[in-house]
Structures are given as structure tokens and as C-alpha cells.
Amino acid sequence: MARSDAELVQQTLAGDREAFGVLVERHRRTVFALALSHGLQAAEAEDAAQETFIRAFSSLAELREPAAFARWVYGIAGHVRIDRARAAKRRPETNNHEQLPERPDLGLPEGLDPNHAEAFRAITALPEDQRVVVTLRYLEGLSPKEIAERLGEPRGTIRSRLHHALSYLQTAFGGAPRQSEAREPAREPAQEGPR
């Protein structure tokens, strides 16, 4: 049986570094995808993901709710992105005789299929909370119930964020918003016995 995030956090705090490795494996794809969705190139996104987990490990004792590890580490990923953006602004510009070769900056990850570029740009325009939910739903393949459990938030909140994100994306691509995919599959009605 898979250990919960809360159990893994407790085991890490008790000195089991392998437990933290399980947490990293469980959440690294999402943290990496969130970095990509902020417009970082693949190598930069990998660095940002690594920095996120280093920060998480070094401040794990400050986590008040071990069951909320996922939400907490995704928040750290957001702070890493902000810190990297600030640092990039502070870097001195190169002087004219030290110019780097020109490279078109489309704000897209290297190797992204040009057919997906418009979708990628639309996703990066989503608010952070919606971008996280879309990433978990469509990259990780989690259901709204699983996303709610991972983020420690009500299922209705997750469905609402998915609905708003999908409506925005549908409109961004010139279509009318359609029935939301945020809902979970309908449950079979309970079989009633003879009356």
C-alpha cells in the first residue's frame, strides 16, 4: 500500500531520506510542468523544480499540516518562479561587444510542437490556482476528487477552478464554452428493490 504524503513527511522528519525521495518522485512531474507553464525552457524548469525540492527539504519542519504537502510544495514552486524572475531583472545586461547569439524568445519550452504553442500560451495566462488544477487534471490525469485530496481543498472548489479554466481556454480558441469536463462521471443510480 502506498504511503500518504503525511506519512512520508513524518518519516522524512524522523531521518528517512528515502521517504523524501518518494515525495519528490510523486510530485516532480507536476512541479516541472508548473515551471514550464510559467514560460521557462525545459532546462530552466528542471533547475526550478530541483530548487523547489531543495527548499522544501530544508524547511520541511515548518510544514504545519503534513497532509497538505502537495499544496505547500506547489506554493514553493511559485515562490521559486518569482525569485528567478526577480533575479533575471537584476542581472546586468551584456555590453555591445559581448552580445549573445540571437535566439527568438517565444516564451515557449524548447521542442514544443508549434501546433501546441497557442494552447501553451493560453494555459500560461491562467491564474496560478487554475493552472495548478489544469496541470494536475490533464498532465497527471487526476480526477477532481483526487486533486481535491492532493491539494487539501473542497472538491467543489476544484471543479469550479477547472470549469473557469476550461471556459477561458475554450473562449481563447474562439469557441463557445461547452459543458464542463470538470465534473466527475455520473454515478449509476442506486438499484431499488421491489416495492
- In the CATH scheme, what is the code of domain 1-89? 1.10.1740.10
pLDDT of res. 93 = 55
CATH 1.10.1740.10 residue ranges in the chain? Answer: 1-89
Indicate where the chain has its CATH 1.10.10.10 domain(s). 111-183
Q: How far apart are CA 83 and CA 123, in angstroms?
A: 21
**What is d(CA 170, CA 177) in angstroms, rounded to the nearest whole number?**
5
Identify the CA nearest to 55 among candidates 68, 39, 74, 40. Answer: 74
pLDDT the model gives residue 44: 87
Any idea which fold 111-183 has? Arc Repressor Mutant, subunit A (1.10.10)
* Structure confidence by residue, pLDDT tens digits, 32-45: 888 887 777 788 88
pTM over cut 0.85: no
pLDDT tier for residue 128 given thresholds of 50, 70 and 90: confident
* pLDDT value of residue 61: 95
For 166-187, the pLDDT digits (tens) are 888 888 877 655 555 555 544 4
What are 137-159's pLDDT values in tens digits? 887 788 999 898 888 889 999 99
Q: pLDDT for 61-119, tens place per residue? A: 999 999 999 999 999 998 898 888 788 777 765 444 444 333 333 344 455 555 566 77
pLDDT at position 141, please?
Answer: 86
